[in-house]
Amino acid sequence: MATKVVVPEMGESIVEATVGTWLKREGDAVAAGEGIVELETEKVNLVVYAERAGVLAHIEHQAGSDVKVGDVLAAIEEAPEPAAPSPRPTEERQPRPAGGPEVREAPRPAQRPEAAAPTDELPRATPVARRVAQEQGIDLAQVPPSAPGGRATKQDVQVYLEQQKGAVSRPAPQPAVIRPREPSAAGVAQPVPAAGRGEERVRMSRRRQTIARRLVEAQHTAAMLTTFNEVDMSAVAELRKRRKESFVERYGVNLGLMSFFVKATIGALRAFPQLNAEIQGDEIILKHYYDIGIAVGAAEGLVVPVLRDADRMSFAQIEQAIKEFVRKSEDGSLTLEDLRGGTFTITNGGVFGSLLSTPILNPPQVGILGLHKIQERPVVLEGAIVVRAMMYVALSYDHRIVDGREAVQFLVRLKELIEDPETLLLEA
């Protein structure tokens, strides 16, 4: 009897997915609990596992197909019983020796049927690594893995690709043939389009489609506005310099900037709770907990994992959690629970060199803080021009429930806490 493999419930209002990579092919043997197919959702990639052992008999939806919860993806049939050994030919009688009894050949023990040759398994790799390898036409079996358990990562595939590019010998350039160009009617030579120009049509991933839709919805449904300020990062830089080595020795993680801004953001949210809220119909839902989303740029697109009850976390716990989020985003192992909810978001474009930007809200949240590149600039301090490490910060907010006064004061409070980081301990 065949067992249907269906699209499972995915939670958090996710009802659709796109078939990503089939980890097994039709006719392959599968074990109970073994991954069969990877689905792309608007938030994370999910692997669907076999509920029972058998043979993958038929695939209903190929890679790239859109499916909904409950749709049948494939069918698993029972593995065929091993063929019974053929009956042994009738025993031949041996010649009877003169004057002695008849001698028969000793019965041979029944031979066990040979075990079926194991099916070829796909190389172990992270979902992102498989996708990159498929796009580049790379055999994952040739990629040396670096992750625990012998899994190849996206970085492994990229390193292998660069090595292969360097190993390919380039053909010697052919001498260019220069021909006189015919003058145009106006007497001026016109540029000739370069030969071999091409275009490529690439299907948007489920996550990229969702990002596009949500960003447009944010602009259409919220009265979004952005206000700016600048923060002197000198005190934080000095504190990090003094505590860097001892922090790593004690907690095994670097003391980064994000933990300071998470703590300062919570302090500012306590002072201006309208920014830690959402709108439902004609009501404002003020939230008295602080689940801070941290925007992470992943290969598949932007994701926002959430620090739950961030006000109860230490600096070390925040840094450790963010480091783990980055690792998960790179190998495609983020879960729905990592991304669920969030009351306010912080995004750091400064890691990519951004000097100034206007971040877009992450609905239904009504506030998002944008951090930028730290840059030494001349500033006036107590009547003297000095060089200080400065950062522009931006707050985008929903003007429907947050007035400009609260938005400006939020950034002023944030600035005060960052420029005097000892007060963060008092706020905690």
105-133 pLDDT per residue, tens = 444 444 434 434 444 445 567 766 777 78
CB-based contacts of 53: which residues, under 8 Å, 6+ apart? 29, 30, 31, 32, 79
- Whether 149 is in a domain gets the answer yes
Q: Would you say residue 265 lies in a domain?
A: yes
Shared domain for 151 and 242, answered yes or no, is no
Number of domains in the chain: 2
* Distance, CA of 130 to CA of 21 (rounded, Å): 8
184 assigned to some structural domain: no
- 259 with 396, same domain: the answer is yes
Residues 153 and 212 in one domain: no
Q: Are strands 296-298 and 301-303 parallel, antiparallel or unpaired?
A: antiparallel
Does a structural domain hold residue 262? yes
* Nearest Cα to Cα of residue 389 among 378, 397, 399, 398: 378
Enter the tokens of residue 72: 């049948």
Mean predicted confidence (pLDDT) in 347-374: 95
Candidates 28, 61, 291, 399; catalytic one: 399
**120 is an active site residue:** no
Residues in Cβ contact with 144 at an 8 Å cutoff, skipping those fewer than 6 apart? 152, 156, 160
Note whether residue 29 is domain-resident. yes
Residue 291 within any structural domain of the chain:
yes
The partner residues of 29 in beta bridges, in order of sequence, read 55
- Position 308 scores a pLDDT of 96
For position 37, what pLDDT does the model report?
Answer: 92
The answer to whether residues 364 and 228 belong to one domain is yes
- To the question of pTM greater than 0.85 for the whole model, the response is no
Strand order in the sheet with 54-59: 3-6, 72-77, 54-59, 29-30
Q: Is there a cis peptide before residue 364, judged by omega within 30 degrees of 0?
A: yes
Lowest-confidence region among 8-17, 18-27, 277-286? 8-17
Residues 150, 230, single domain; the answer is no
The answer on pLDDT for 395 being more than 70 is: yes
pLDDT at 231 over 70: yes
> Do 142 and 211 reside in the same domain of the chain?
no
Intra-chain end-to-end CA distance of the chain, in Å: 60
What CATH number is given to the structural domain containing 33?
A: 2.40.50.100
Query: b/e string for 397-417 if b means 16 or more Cβ within 10 A?
Result: bbeebbeeebbeebbebbbeb
- Domain shared by 256 and 147, yes or no: no
CB-CB neighbours of 89 under 10 Å:
6
61 and 148 together in one domain? yes
Indicate if 152 and 218 belong to the same structural domain.
no
- Higher pLDDT among residues 328 and 167, named by residue: 328
Residues 150 and 270 both lie in one domain:
no
402 lies in which domain range? Answer: 207-427
408 or 203: which carries more pLDDT confidence?
A: 408
Catalytic-role residue among 61, 372, 398, 403: 403
The predicted structure's pLDDT at residue 118: 42
Are 367 and 361 within 8 A, CB to CB?
yes
**If pLDDT is split at 50, 70 and 90, which confidence band does 197 have?**
confident
Paired residues of 286 in beta bridges: 277
Same domain, 345 and 420: yes
CA distance 312 to 310: 5
C-alpha–C-alpha distance, residues 148 and 198, integer Å: 40
Residue 24: how many other CB atoms lie within 10 Å = 21
Residues 301 and 370 in one domain: yes
CATH number at residue 277: 3.30.559.10
pLDDT higher at 388 or 185: 388
User: Does the structure show a pLDDT above 80 at 155?
Assistant: no
Q: In the predicted model, what is the mean pLDDT of residues 167-172?
A: 53
Is 340 within a domain?
A: yes
| Residue 80, token pair as written in the block | 């065929």
Residue 40 lies in a domain: yes
C-alpha dist (Å) from residue 204 to 4, 87, 199, 217: 28, 59, 15, 18
Alpha-carbon span 321 to 299, nearest angstrom: 19
Is 403 considered catalytic here? yes
Comparing 13-22, 237-246, 355-364, the range with the smallest average pLDDT is 13-22
pLDDT (tens digit, 9 = 90+) per residue, 241-296?
999 999 999 999 999 999 999 999 999 999 999 999 999 999 999 999 999 999 99
